Structure formats: C-alpha cells, structure tokens
C-alpha cells in the first residue's frame, strides 16, 4: 500500500511535523489514563516515518508511570501533537495525533478505520466495553 506524506501542526503553529502514513492504515483510540484524558486519536508509525520540522525546544515533555512513552506538547498552546517512545514487545514508535493532521479533510478523517484498545485494563489487544466517549 502506498504511503502518503502528511503534514501536521499544533494549534498555534509553532510545532510542525511530517509523517508518512499508509492510506488505509488503522488509527487507534484507547481508554488508558492519559489517552482518555487527552482523547488521543493516534496513527502509529515507526520513528523513521516521522519528521519533526520545528524546534525540539518548543516542546514540553511529559512522562509518567514506567516512562516508556513521552507525551510532548507545545509549550505555547498546549496541544499534544504526538506521543513517542519504545514499548517492550512493540518497539519504537511515534503516534501522531490524527486531529492535528492538516491536510486530511473531515470526510477523510471520519472514514479512517479506528481500532480501540482497552489500555485501562492492560488488555491492549481488545476493545473496551464502552468506546463512545473516547
């Protein structure tokens, strides 16, 4: 399947990135503690498919728990544009915020396949019983 280079940004525009996404790659939503708070809607790629176009210094980092994953956000506007890290058994990844992709139409975003994960119960391979709030 063909990968397309997409661009994304935070609300104020300070943070900008490019990501190579397969057209029909699944996106993910999860009910873990941070994904549910942020309503993070992610598209995960290998790190070499992601390019931060702006200055790392404009990101404020956030980590919690086992510190496998970074949840950086724009230091100006607070938008979470991606998460990144390395999870044992899964490998290194960047999960870009689908909501922050600038060149997908609302129709395209709405048609993206979504895979739900029950992260709250550490059951990442299955969807939670309730997903409508995610």
The answer to whether 39 and 16 have CB atoms below 8 angstroms apart is no
The answer to the question of residue 14 lying near Zn ion (CB under 5 A) is yes
Binding mask 26-65 for Zn ion (x = CB under 5 A): ----------------------------------------
The answer to the question of residue 10 lying near Zn ion (CB under 5 A) is yes
State which residue, 10 or 45, has the beta carbon closest to Zn ion.
10
Helices (H), the chain: 33-38, 106-111
State which residue, 34 or 76, has the beta carbon closest to Zn ion.
76
The answer to the question of residue 12 lying near Zn ion (CB under 5 A) is yes
Kindly state the smallest distance separating residue 16's Cβ from Zn ion, in Å. Answer: 10
DSSP 115: E
DSSP 4: E
The answer to whether 82 and 74 have CB atoms below 8 angstroms apart is no
Q: d(Cα 126, Cα 114) in Å, to the nearest integer?
A: 12
DSSP 122: T
Binding mask 74-113 for Zn ion (x = CB under 5 A): x-xx------------------------------------
């Amino acid at each position: 399947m063909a990968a397309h280079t997409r661009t994304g940004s935070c609300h104020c525009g300070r943070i900008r990135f490019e990501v190579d996404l397969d057209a029909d790659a699944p996106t993910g939503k999860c009910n873990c503690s941070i994904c549910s708070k942020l309503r993070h809607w992610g598209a995960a790629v290998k790190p070499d498919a992601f390019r931060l176009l702006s200055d790392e210094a404009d990101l404020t980092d956030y980590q919690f728990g086992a510190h496998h994953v970074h949840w950086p956000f724009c230091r100006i506007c607070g938008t979470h544009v991606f998460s990144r890290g390395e999870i044992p058994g899964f490998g290194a990844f960047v999960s870009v915020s689908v909501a922050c992709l600038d060149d997908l139409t609302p129709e395209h975003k709405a048609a993206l396949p979504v895979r739900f994960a029950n992260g709250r119960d550490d059951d990442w391979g299955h969807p939670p019983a309730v997903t409508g709030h995610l």
